[in-house]
C-alpha cells in the first residue's frame, strides 16, 4: 500500500477503530469508531479494489461505499457463523479489519504506480463559511438537538392508567421452602400497600407494609412454613391491598408448592 | 402597470440581496428541516402526554422539511453536489421524524420480531435461530447479521444498533435513487425531483424505515440497479469493475429478504430482455440474472425453505380475494378503514382528500411525464422499465379494494414507485418550463409535491397511529413504562428461559429483549384461546404439548393490535376497551397459579397447578 496514502489511511483507521470498539467501555465512543469500521472503511477498500485506477465522482463513490459496506455486514455474519467461536465482538472486529486490509492490498496491487495526487491523497476543501452560515448551522443543529431532547424526555401523561404489578415465583435458591414476591409500582404517585401472604387453608398469614415510589420495585423472600411429609400440594397466595383501601383486593398472585418433604 | 413592474423588480432585488447576504441555501434548508423536526417532536410529545393534539402542526412540520427542499431542487441553477446533499438531508430528516416518534423502543409490528433475531445472535453467537412469531425471518439473517456487528462493536442493544443501521440504509436509499435517476435521465434536476416524488410512496415515512429486513434490502436493491445503470454506459474496459458491487449487493439481498431478491431477479430479467431486443450495443445483464436467480433459489432451498409456506398463502389469498371482489362475491374493502377493532378514530375528511389529491397529482404527473420520457428516453431499458412500473402502480391501486389483497398492493408499491417517481418528475418539470406565470407554476409544483408526500404518508399508516403514544412516561420525578413493557422486563429478568402464549402486542414486547419466546395469533390457537370466556378440553393440552410454560391473559382489546397495543392503557368506555373478566378467570378456575398480576394483564403458569 506504500505510495497510496488513502489506502494507508484506511488501513490504519480500521485497526484504530477496531481497537477502540473492542477495548473501550463507553458506548458512544465505540459507536463513533464502529460505524466507520463496520460500513465506510470496508466499503471504501472494496470499491478501491474493484475500481483500481478508475476515478469515481464523490456521489457514486459514497453510494458504492455505503452499498458495499452494508452488504459486507449482511454477509459477514454468515461467514463468522461457520467458524468456531461464532459471532462475537472480537470476531467481527477481526473480520472487518481483514476485509479492509485484504481489499486495500488488492487495490494497491491493481492500481497503477502511485501518482503524486494519490500519494498526497484527495484534496478536500471546505467551503468558506460566513458568519451568517455559522449562525444558521448552529441554529439548525440546536433545532435538531432540541427535537431529539424533546423526544427522549419522558413526559407526564395524566390520563394514562397507572398500575401496580404483583408477582410470585417459587424461590429455588434458598435453603427452605420459600417464595419470592415482588411489587412493582407504575402508579403516578407514591403509593402505600399492605401485602398479605398465606399458605394452605387456615395457615398463618404474614403481613407486610410497604411504600413505593413510581417506578420502584420491592422483592421479598417469604419463607413458607410447611408440614413435613405433606401429601398434597399447598397453595400459596399473596394479596396486595392499597393502604387507603384495606378491604378492596388490588392484586393477587398464587402458586402451588408440590407435595414432598420440603427442602 | 409600471407601478406593478417596479414592485416586481423591487421584490427581485430584495431576493437577490437576500441570496447574497443570507446563509447558504443548504444551511438554510438544514435549518428549515431542523425546525420541522422540532415541530414534529413537539406534537409527538403532546401526544405522548396522553393528549389528543391536532395533527395539523405535525404535518406542517413534515412540510417544513419537504417543501423548501422541493423548491430548491426544482431550480435550474443548483449544483450537482448541492442536490446530492439536499437529497441526503431530505431522506435523513424524514427518517428522524420516525425516530422522534419512537425514541424508546421498537413499537412497529415487525420490529420486535427482528430485534429478537438480533438479540438471539448476541446470545447464541450464531445465526439461524428459530423465531417463534415469524419463522421465515430466521432464514434471512442479513439484517440480524448487520445489527449484530453494530451491537458487538458498540455494546448497544438491538434497538440502538437498529436505529443507526436503518439510518444508513435510508441514506443509501435516497442517494442510490438520485444516482440511478441521474444516470437514466441525464439530469440531476430530474433526479432530485424524482427522489422527492419517491418520498410520496405510502411506505416512505414510516413502514419503510421500521427495523425490518426489507428496510435494509430495498436500499441495496436500488444501489444494485444504480450500479447496473452505470455499467451500461461505462467504457468497455471499466465494465468489469461494476461487477463487484453488483455481485456483493445481490448476495446481500438474497440473504436479507425474500421478496426483494425475487424483485431483483424480475427487474434484471426485464432489463436483459429489453437490452436483447433493443438492438443497441450495450452490456446485457443476463449473466447477473442467472447469478441472482441461482442465488435466490439456492438460498430458498438451502436455508429458507419456510418461505414457500409463508408467501404462498399470502399471494393465493390476494389472488382469490381479488377474484371474489371483481366477481361481486365479496364486498370491496372500504378505503381509509382500519381492519383493527382497536382503531380509535377514522381518517378525517380533509386527510382523505389530501390522499386522493395525491393520487390525482401522481396520475396527472404520470400522464404529463410519460409522453416526454417515451419521446426522449425510450431507447433506454431503464426508462422503459420505469414506464411499466409507473403504469403497474396505478393498476395495483385497484387491488386496494380487495380485502386480502391490499397489503400485497401496498408492499408492491415500494418497488413500482421507483418507476412512477421517475416519470412524474419529468411531468413536474414540464410545469416549470420558462414562460408566463413561472412563479405561480413553481409554487404549484412545490404544493403538488407536498401533497404527494403528505398524501402518501397518510395513506401508508393508520391515522390514529401517526403520532406517538405514551410508552415511557414520567411520574413523581421517575420513569414508568406501559404494562406490556413492564411485563416484558419482568419476564426478561425472572423467566427468560420460558415460552409464553400471548396476544399480538404482548408477544412482541416479550420477544424484543431476545430471551423468552412467545407464540401469538393463529399459532397454537392463541388467538382463539385468550379472548374466550371458558376453556375447552383440548386447549391447555395443546399449549402444554408445545412446551408453553405461561399464558398471558390480557383484558385489553387493543392487545391484539400489534400497532397500538404496546402503550399505556388510556381508559375509554370499559365495555369497548376490555374483554369480559371471565377471559382471565377461566385460567384461575382450572386452577392455574397466577404468577404475575398487573391489573389488566395476568400471567398464569401452565405447570403451576395442584
Whether B163 contacts chain A with CB within 8 A: no
Strands B601-605 and B593-597: antiparallel
Residues of B with CB below 8 A from A53's CB? none
Say if residues B250 and B295 touch (Cβ distance below 8 Å).
yes
- Per the listing, cell 461505499 goes with A65
Residues of A with CB below 8 A from B220's CB? 67, 70-71, 74
> What single DSSP character describes residue A180?
E
Residue window 93-112, chain A: list those with CB within 8 Å of chain B.
Answer: 93, 96
Whether A22 contacts chain B with CB within 8 A: yes
B491: Cβ contacts below 8 Å, ≥ 6 apart: B498, B500, B510, B513, B515, B516
Which positions of chain A have pLDDT values less than 70? 1-2, 113-126, 174-176, 226-230, 260-263
Whether B238 contacts chain A with CB within 8 A: yes
Complex ipTM, two decimals?
0.92
Residues of B with CB below 8 A from A160's CB? 50, 470, 473, 482, 567-570
Whether B245 contacts chain A with CB within 8 A: yes
Which pLDDT belongs to residue B4?
44
- Per the listing, cell 416484558 goes with B488
- State the angle between helix axes of B56-74 and B80-101 in degrees (0 to 180), rounded to the nearest 10: 170
Of A159, A166, A160, which is closest to residue A242 (Cα–Cα)? A166
DSSP output for B65-91: HHHHHHHHHH-SS--HHHHHHHHHHHH
How many other β-carbons are positioned within 10 Å of the β-carbon of residue B294? Answer: 12
Whether B20 contacts chain A with CB within 8 A: no
Quote the CA–CA distance of B483 and B485 in Å, as a whole number: 5
Kindly determine whether residue A74 and residue B256, on different chains, have CB atoms separated by under 8 Å: yes
Which pLDDT belongs to residue B3?
46
B303, three cell numbers: 436455508
Q: CA triplet B33, B36, B41: central angle to 5 degrees?
A: 125
SS (H, E, C) B280-294: CCCCCCHHHHHHHHH
B233, three cell numbers: 454506459
Residue B59, classed as helix, strand or coil, is helix
B171: Cβ contacts below 8 Å, ≥ 6 apart: A66, B88, B91, B92
Give B29 to chain A, closest Cα distance, Å. 9
User: Pick from A39, A85, A186: which is nearest to B480 by CB?
Assistant: A186
- Per the listing, cell 443497441 goes with B280
Specify burial of residue B19 (Cβ count, 10 A radius: 0-12, 13-18, 19+).
exposed
Which pLDDT belongs to residue B278?
74
User: For B41-95, what is each residue's pLDDT tens digit?
Assistant: 999 999 998 878 899 999 999 999 999 999 999 998 899 999 999 999 999 999 9
Quote the CA–CA distance of B570 and B51 in Å, as a whole number: 10
B210: Cβ contacts below 8 Å, ≥ 6 apart: B98, B106, B108, B110, B111, B166
> What single DSSP character describes residue B139?
G
Estimate to the nearest angstrom the gap between the alpha carbon of A37 and the chain centroid: 19
Kindly determine whether residue B80 and residue A59, on different chains, have CB atoms separated by under 8 Å: yes
- Mutation target vs A (from B65, B145, B182, B589; most A CBs, 10 A cutoff): B145
Residues of A with CB below 8 A from B27's CB? 133, 136-137, 140
Residues of A with CB below 8 A from B216's CB? 70, 74
Give B538 to chain A, closest Cα distance, Å. 23
User: Pick from B100, B220, B478: which is nearest to A148 by CB?
Assistant: B100
B161: Cβ contacts below 8 Å, ≥ 6 apart: B118, B147, B150, B151, B154
In angstroms, the Cα distances linking B60 to B38, B53, B175 are: 11, 13, 25
B589, three cell numbers: 378456575
- Per the listing, cell 472494496 goes with A46
Quote the CA–CA distance of A75 and A94 in Å, as a whole number: 15
User: Pick from A47, A151, A182: which is nearest to B44 by CB?
Assistant: A151
**What is the number of residues in chain B?**
610
Which positions of chain B have pLDDT values less than 70? 1-20, 281, 338-345, 434, 571-576
Of A1, A13, A90, which is closest to residue A48 (Cα–Cα)? A1
- Mutation target vs B (from A74, A110, A173; most B CBs, 10 A cutoff): A74
The answer, yes or no, to whether the previous bond of B591 is cis (omega within 30 of 0) is: yes
Quote the CA–CA distance of B594 and B588 in Å, as a whole number: 7
B290, three cell numbers: 442467472
Whether A33 contacts chain B with CB within 8 A: yes
- Per the listing, cell 420505469 goes with B386
Residue A111, classed as helix, strand or coil, is coil
In angstroms, the Cα distances linking B488 to B94, B492, B511, B533, B601 are: 30, 6, 8, 25, 11
Which pLDDT belongs to residue A199?
87
Specify burial of residue B305 (Cβ count, 10 A radius: 0-12, 13-18, 19+).
exposed
Strands B499-501 and B550-554: parallel
Quote the CA–CA distance of B380 and B377 in Å, as a whole number: 6
B463, three cell numbers: 391515522
Q: Locate the chain A residue with the closest alpha carbon to B227.
A: A64
Give B384 to chain A, closest Cα distance, Å. 23
- Mutation target vs B (from A34, A63, A94, A187; most B CBs, 10 A cutoff): A63
Quote the CA–CA distance of B362 and B394 in Å, as a whole number: 9
- State the angle between helix axes of B158-185 and A27-35 in degrees (0 to 180), rounded to the nearest 10: 30
Q: Phi and psi for A4 in degrees, rounded to 5? A: -110, 90
Which pLDDT belongs to residue B10?
54
Residues of A with CB below 8 A from B481's CB? 186
Specify burial of residue B494 (Cβ count, 10 A radius: 0-12, 13-18, 19+).
middle
Which pLDDT belongs to residue B402?
79
Amino acid at each position: 500500500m506504500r505510495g497510496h496514502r488513502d489506502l494507508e489511511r484506511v488501513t490504519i483507521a480500521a485497526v484504530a477503530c477496531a481497537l477502540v470498539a473492542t477495548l473501550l467501555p463507553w458506548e458512544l465512543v465505540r459507536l463513533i469508531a464502529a460505524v466507520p469500521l463496520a460500513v465506510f472503511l470496508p466499503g471504501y477498500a472494496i470499491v478501491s479494489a474493484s475500481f483500481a485506477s478508475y476515478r469515481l465522482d464523490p456521489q457514486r463513490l459514497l453510494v458504492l461505499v455505503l452499498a458495499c459496506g452494508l452488504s459486507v455486514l449482511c454477509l459477514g455474519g454468515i461467514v463468522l457463523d461457520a467458524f468456531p467461536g461464532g459471532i462475537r465482538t472480537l470476531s467481527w472486529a477481526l473480520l472487518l479489519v481483514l476485509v479492509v486490509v485484504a481489499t486495500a492490498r488488492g487495490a494497491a496491487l491493481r492500481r497503477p504506480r502511485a501518482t503524486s495526487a494519490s500519494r498526497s491523497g484527495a484534496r478536500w476543501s471546505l467551503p468558506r463559511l460566513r458568519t451568517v452560515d455559522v449562525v444558521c448551522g448552529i441554529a439548525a443543529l440546536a433545532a435538531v438537538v432540541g427535537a431529539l431532547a424533546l423526544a427522549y424526555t419522558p413526559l407526564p401523561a395524566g390520563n394514562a392508567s397507572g398500575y401496580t404489578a404483583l408477582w410470585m415465583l417459587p424461590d429455588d435458591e434458598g435453603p427452605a421452602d420459600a417464595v419470592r414476591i415482588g411489587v412493582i409500582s407504575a402508579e403516578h404517585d407514591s403509593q402505600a400497600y399492605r401485602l398479605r401472604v398465606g399458605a394452605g387453608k387456615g395457615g398463618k398469614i404474614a403481613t407486610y407494609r410497604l411504600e413505593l415510589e413510581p417506578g420502584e420495585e420491592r422483592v421479598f423472600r417469604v419463607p413458607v412454613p410447611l408440614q413435613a411429609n405433606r401429601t398434597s400440594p399447598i397453595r400459596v397466595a399473596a394479596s396486595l391491598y392499597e393502604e387507603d383501601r384495606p378491604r378492596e383486593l388490588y392484586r393477587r398472585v398464587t402458586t402451588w408448592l408440590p407435595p414432598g418433604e420440603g427442602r | 402597470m409600471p407601478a406593478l413592474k417596479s414592485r416586481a423588480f423591487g421584490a427581485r432585488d430584495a431576493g437577490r440581496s437576500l441570496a447574497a447576504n443570507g446563509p447558504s441555501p443548504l444551511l438554510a434548508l438544514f435549518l428549515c428541516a431542523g425546525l420541522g423536526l422540532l415541530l414534529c417532536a413537539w406534537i409527538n410529545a403532546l401526544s405522548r402526554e396522553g393528549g389528543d393534539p391536532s395533527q395539523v402542526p405535525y404535518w406542517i412540520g413534515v412540510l417544513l422539511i419537504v417543501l423548501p427542499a422541493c423548491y430548491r431542487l426544482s431550480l435550474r441553477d443548483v449544483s450537482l453536489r448541492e442536490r446530492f446533499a439536499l437529497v441526503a438531508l431530505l431522506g435523513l430528516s424524514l427518517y428522524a421524524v420516525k425516530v422522534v416518534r419512537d425514541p424508546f423502543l421498537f413499537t412497529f409490528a415487525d420490529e420486535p420480531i427482528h430485534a429478537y433475531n438480533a438479540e438471539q445472535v448476541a446470545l447464541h453467537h450464531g445465526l439461524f435461530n428459530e423465531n417463534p412469531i415469524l419463522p421465515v425471518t430466521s432464514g434471512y439473517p442479513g439484517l440480524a447479521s448487520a445489527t449484530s456487528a453494530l451491537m458487538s462493536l458498540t455494546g448497544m442493544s438491538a434497538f440502538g444498533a437498529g436505529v443507526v443501521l436503518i439510518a444508513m440504509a435510508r441514506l443509501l436509499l435516497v442517494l442510490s435513487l438520485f444516482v440511478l435517476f441521474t444516470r437514466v435521465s441525464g439530469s440531476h434536476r430530474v433526479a432530485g425531483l424524482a427522489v422527492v416524488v419517491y418520498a410520496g410512496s405510502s411506505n416512505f415515512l414510516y413502514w419503510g424505515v421500521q427495523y425490518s429486513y426489507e428496510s435494509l434490502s430495498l436500499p441495496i436493491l436500488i444501489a444494485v440497479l444504480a450500479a447496473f445503470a452505470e455499467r451500461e454506459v461505462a467504457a468497455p474496459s471499466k465494465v468489469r469493475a461494476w461487477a463487484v458491487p453488483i455481485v456483493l449487493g445481490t448476495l446481500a439481498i438474497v440473504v436479507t429478504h425474500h421478496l426483494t431478491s425475487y424483485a431483483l431477479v424480475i427487474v434484471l430479467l426485464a432489463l436483459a430482455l429489453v437490452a436483447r431486443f433493443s438492438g443497441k450495443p450495450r452490456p446485457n445483464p443476463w449473466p447477473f440474472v442467472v447469478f441472482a436467480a441461482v442465488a435466490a433459489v439456492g438460498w430458498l432451498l438451502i436455508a429458507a425453505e419456510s418461505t414457500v409456506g409463508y408467501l404462498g398463502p399470502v399471494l393465493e389469498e390476494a389472488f382469490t380475494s381479488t377474484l371474489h371482489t371483481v366477481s361481486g362475491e365479496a364486498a370491496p374493502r372500504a378505503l381509509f378503514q382500519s381492519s383493527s377493532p382497536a382503531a380509535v378514530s377514522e381518517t378525517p375528511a380533509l386527510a382523505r382528500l389530501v390522499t386522493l389529491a395525491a393520487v390525482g397529482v401522481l396520475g396527472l404527473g404520470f400522464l404529463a411525464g410519460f409522453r416526454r420520457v417515451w419521446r426522449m428516453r425510450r431507447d433506454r431499458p431503464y426508462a422503459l422499465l420505469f414506464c411499466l412500473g409507473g403504469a403497474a402502480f396505478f393498476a395495483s391501486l385497484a387491488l386496494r379494494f380487495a380485502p386480502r389483497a391490499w397489503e400485497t398492493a401496498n408492499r408492491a408499491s415500494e418497488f413500482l414507485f421507483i418507476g412512477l417517481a421517475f416519470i412524474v418528475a419529468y411531468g413536474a418539470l414540464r410545469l416549470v418550463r420558462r414562460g408566463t406565470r413561472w412563479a405561480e407554476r413553481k409554487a404549484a409544483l412545490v404544493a403538488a409535491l407536498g401533497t404527494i408526500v403528505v398524501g402518501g404518508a397518510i395513506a401508508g399508516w393508520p391515522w390514529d397511529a401517526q403520532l406517538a403514544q405514551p410508552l415511557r412516561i414520567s411520574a413523581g420525578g421517575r420513569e414508568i413504562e406501559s404494562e406490556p413493557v413492564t411485563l416484558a422486563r419482568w419476564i426478561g429478568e425472572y423467566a427468560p428461559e420460558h415460552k409464553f402464549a400471548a396476544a399480538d402486542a404482548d408477544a412482541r414486547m416479550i420477544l424484543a429483549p431476545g430471551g423468552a419466546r412467545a407464540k401469538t395469533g393463529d399459532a397454537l390457537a392463541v388467538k382463539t384461546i385468550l379472548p374466550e370466556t371458558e376453556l375447552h378440553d383440548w386447549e391447555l393440552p395443546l399449549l402444554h404439548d408445545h412446551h408453553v410454560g405461561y399464558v398471558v391473559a390480557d383484558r385489553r382489546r387493543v392487545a391484539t393490535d400489534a400497532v397500538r397495543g404496546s402503550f399505556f392503557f388510556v381508559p375509554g368506555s370499559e365495555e369497548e376497551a376490555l374483554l369480559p373478566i371471565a377471559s382471565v378467570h377461566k385460567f384461575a378456575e382450572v386452577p392455574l397459579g397466577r404468577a404475575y398480576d398487573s391489573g389488566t394483564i395476568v400471567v398464569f403458569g401452565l405447570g403451576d397447578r395442584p
